[in-house]
Structure 1
Amino acid sequence: MFFSYSGAGVAPSNVVRIPLTAAANITWWKGIEVFRPDGSRHPSVLETHNSGRGPYTMDIVVNNTDSPNLWALKFLKGKLFGIHTGMYCLEDLSAWRGRNLYFTWTHDAS
């Protein structure tokens, strides 16, 4: 794994709170995009770059009428020429409603 995570902390019952931090050795751009059940991208993106290591936080409001298992997180990193490239995906945020889901990008690899 290139990042660590923890599900500690309490958020409002219909919210998944996502803080993103980059370790001291991470210099290239890293980000998290959120996709809604209808496939559209959430307007906010969490990102770290160079000395901006975070934590940066986003709250995702998952309504009772949503299918929370269809919400997804896409982890991206800056690759060749700085192109933001999807690397990993985490689906089914239903288990994290009412919680903080902390991510720390710990190391890089190609």
Structure 2
Amino acid sequence: MKTIKKIDKKSVANVYAYFLAISAFLVGIFIAFANIVDRILQGNNDFISIILLIVFNILWGVLVGLVSALVGIIIGFISGWLFASLYNLAVKIKILGGIQIELE
């Protein structure tokens, strides 16, 4: 078993920022689709209004998803950097013994 005593701050920050950005973008898209279904189920829609509703809500979902992803990248990078710094500090002053991992 190997023990991880130090984590690279930038790699943890990049991974966490990536996952937060992907999840924020997907949430924006799912909100757009939920809004489309909600508006269509309300009724009083003809064909053109349904098409415009779908197009504008998808574009709005992409925009919200991209803005949320950018915010997620910033928050993820900062919090990943802080987590790696705190982990390295805790291992250095012997609060934690490190992460034990078995490599094959």
The TM-score with structure 1 as length reference comes to 0.22
The structure with the largest helix share of the pair is: 2
**Higher relative contact order at CA 8 Å, sep ≥6: structure 1 or structure 2?**
2
Larger radius of gyration: 2
More strand by share: 1
Q: What is the TM-score when the length of structure 2 is the normalising length?
A: 0.23
